[in-house]
Chains A and B, each alone.
Chain A
Amino acid sequence: DVKVTQSSRYLVKRTGEKVFLECVQDMDHENMFWYRQDPGLGLRLIYFSYDVKMKEKGDIPEGYSVSREKKERFSLILESASTNQTSMYLCASSPSTPLAEQYFGPGTRLTVT
């Protein structure tokens, strides 16, 4: 069974704080993704990575950065958290084979006050 784990289920941070969200997958997948989910907006892709140390911007990368130093781990960084980054953050992974589905973690509910 594929397992994608996220470091926290719930997180509360203050405006201006630096925030790290960690994601780990145990299936040796090449691809990893960070999304945010907001009511009425669905899932939007923030960043993805197709290999160690490689990253690509998604649809809404502003205010975020990522790090992938090891194949199994993909971190999302909010350099200076703002209230409009309050959201559900979802990590996913997939193999690099064509037509592969993505496997999602349970999500981190981040509240920025």
Chain B
Amino acid sequence: DQQVKQNSPSLSVQEGRISILNCDYTNSMFDYFLWYKKYPAEGPTFLISISSIKDKNEDGRFTVFLNKSAKHLSLHIVPSQPGDSAVYFCAASVSSGYSTLTFGKGTMLLVSP
């Protein structure tokens, strides 16, 4: 049973436009959510996170929105740049546990010039 779902395997966006990556979860115990970015042949790098006590967190061009009632979060990248082209993984955890992360399958973002 997939607890974290990223239903779009890929997304193509033009440079300068907004990229919106979506993520849904089923486990209501999850209370901390993270986005990781992964380039080919490299390990994932942390991008941004949000705790369930918030509904929005912003860091530069990256904003994550959390809708707890819908069990849905999204990552907005504005403006998108070609260097943002990568695979983006949504991850969720239970903060009272061992800090293990449950990952989605990832969305490949391609930003074209």
Contact = CB atoms under 8 A, between A and B. Distances in A.
Contacts of A105: 43
Interface stretch (A13-21, A43-51, A60-68, A77-85): A43-51
B13 interface: no
Given A42-B104, A43-B89, A99-B49, A90 B98 contact: no
Interface residues of A, number: 30
B106 A104 contact: no
Contacts of A41: 105
A74 interface: no
- Contact residues of B: prevailing secondary structure: loop
B100 A58 contact: yes
B32 A42 contact: no
Nearest to B104: A42
Contacts of B106: 42
Interface in B13-45: 32, 34, 36, 41-45
B44 A104 contact: yes
Counting chain B CB atoms within 10 Å of each CB, the highest count among A98, A100, A105 belongs to A98
B41 A98 contact: no
Given A41-B105, A107-B41, 13 more contacts: A31-B99, A42-B106, A44-B103, A45-B100, A58-B100, A90-B43, A92-B43, A99-B51, A99-B95, A101-B46, A106-B41, A107-B43, A109-B41
